[in-house]
Amino acid sequence: MKSPCQITFRNISHDETLENAIQDKVAKLDSRFENIITCRVVVEVPHRHHKHGNYYNVRIDISVPEKEIVVNRDPGDKVEAHKDFNVALRDAFDAASRQLENYVEARRPQ
Number of domains the chain contains: 1
Picking from 64, 66, 56, the residue whose alpha carbon sits closest to that of residue 92 is 56
**Position 61 in a domain:** yes
**Position 85 in a domain:** yes
Lowest mean pLDDT among 49-58, 62-71, 84-93, 101-110: 49-58
Instruction: Give the whole-angstrom CA distance, residue 54 versus residue 52.
Output: 7
Range of the domain at 66: 6-107
Note the pLDDT tens digit of each residue in 10-29.
988 888 999 999 999 999 99
What lies within 8 Å, CB to CB, of 44 at 6+ separation is 9, 10, 11, 12, 56, 57, 59
What's the CATH number where 27 sits? 3.30.160.100
Instruction: Fill in the DSSP letter of residue 12.
Output: S
**Position 1 in a domain:** no
